[in-house]
Amino acid sequence: MTSTLPIRLPLDGEAASGSRNTQLPQFEGSAHAKAILFGEHAVVYGAPAIAVPIHELAAEARVDSAADGLRIESELFSGEAAAAPAKLQPIVTAIHAALAYSGAQNAAIRVQILSAIPHSRGLGSSAAVAAAVARAVTNWAGVQLTTAGLYDIVQQAERVAHGNPSGLDARAVTSDGAIRFDFGAVSPVRIGAPLSFVLADSGLAGSTAEAVGAVRVRREQNPQAMDRYMSHLAEIAEGAIEDLARGDRFAIGARMRDAHDMLQAIGVSSATLDGLVLAANEAGALGAKLTGGGLGGCIIALAHSADHAEQLGSALRDAGATRTWTATVPTA
């Protein structure tokens, strides 16, 4: 498999000699980012959610045999897994879970990780890295990884990262196409016309665990209003299924605007995210909303075309987005 990442990991032996060391085979795994189009947060309370793959951003893991121990090499930390900082515990969990799945608990391996997916931005970085690790480790072990096995490993890592994840991210980063997620069940979503999006980073980290916790507290304090918002988010996602199948961009955009208002009402937006949504709408987006846990992270805006998505990206950077990415979801 060739790397889809802008930066390439050095192949073993390459740094020293400039040529590939064919004595030490490396085993790879990758997974893509995701964006939640509809239903974040409400999904935790049983509402349907719709997520799309962002193939343009990927996480990659490489595994090879080591003399002893369990070594991790990544941008945030390189060293023995046992000494990894708290931030890396979801990855350590994924490695141990994948080794256990492979029946190789005590294996000595080196795991290299490189991800182009920014973390704490609602794009599924932690789930994608865990999925890439699961695929690379089981490849190294020569073990067939089932869909259920992959989901289970990613969920173990996600529990460490976010507390009590719905499972939406684990499914979204391992599904090739758009998905509908209902109480853990996944089904493909028909896309009647290609959809061009732009994702814009607020530059502020958003903690999913914190956002989910804040919604839980607000719901305990004000159950009637919160349940009304959640029901409306469920209706938006339900209705969007038809719009997506018809490829009706105007209707999808209108639902995105509506969904952002509801996410604002449940308290997971922020002044920065609202400002970016406004800027996207003023620049001619069909609709825009925060995506993922919120309280930071990214917004997603729907464009008329791929060129228009580039223009929206430029307008959003002018409005303060620290980074933007364009993505296309093809007809399916």
Alpha helices per DSSP H over the chain = 14-17, 89-101, 125-141, 147-162, 168-172, 208-221, 223-246, 249-265, 271-282, 306-318
CB of 216 to ligand MEV, least distance (A): 11
Check binding of 212 to ligand MEV (CB under 6 A): yes
Stretch that binds ligand MEV, among 41-49, 196-204, 240-248, 319-327 (CB under 6 A): 41-49
Identify the CA nearest to 317 among candidates 276, 286, 262, 268. Answer: 276
Report how far residue 29's alpha carbon sits from residue 129's, in angstroms, rounded to the nearest whole number: 9
Report how far residue 246's alpha carbon sits from residue 255's, in angstroms, rounded to the nearest whole number: 14
CB-closest chain residue to ligand MEV: 166
Specify the residue, 116 or 127, whose C-beta has the smaller distance to ligand MEV: 127
Report how far residue 31's alpha carbon sits from residue 224's, in angstroms, rounded to the nearest whole number: 39
Binding ligand MEV (rule: CB under 6 A), the pick from 43, 58, 170, 309 is 43
Check binding of 292 to ligand MEV (CB under 6 A): yes
CB of 21 to ligand MEV, least distance (A): 39
Check binding of 208 to ligand MEV (CB under 6 A): yes
Specify the residue, 292 or 296, whose C-beta has the smaller distance to ligand MEV: 292
| E strand intervals along the chain | 27-38, 49-65, 70-73, 78-80, 109-115, 179-182, 185-188, 195-201, 287-291, 298-303, 323-329
**Binding residues among 112-171 for ligand MEV as defined by CB under 6 A:** 122, 165-166, 168-169
Q: What CA–CA distances, in Å, run from 115 to 5, 63, 76?
A: 8, 15, 11
CB of 261 to ligand MEV, least distance (A): 17
Residue found by looking up tokens 């879970």 in the block: 97
Specify the residue, 45 or 77, whose C-beta has the smaller distance to ligand MEV: 45
CB of 247 to ligand MEV, least distance (A): 25
Specify the residue, 112 or 166, whose C-beta has the smaller distance to ligand MEV: 166
Catalytic residues, by residue number, are 169
- Residues shown for the chain: 332
Whether residue 136 contacts residue 27, with contact meaning beta carbons closer than 8 Å, is answered with yes
Check binding of 40 to ligand MEV (CB under 6 A): yes
CB of 209 to ligand MEV, least distance (A): 9
Joined tokens for residue 311: 């223009």
Which amino acid is it at 224? Q
Chain contacts with ligand MEV (rule: CB under 6 A): 36, 40-41, 43-44, 122, 165-166, 168-169, 208, 212, 292-293
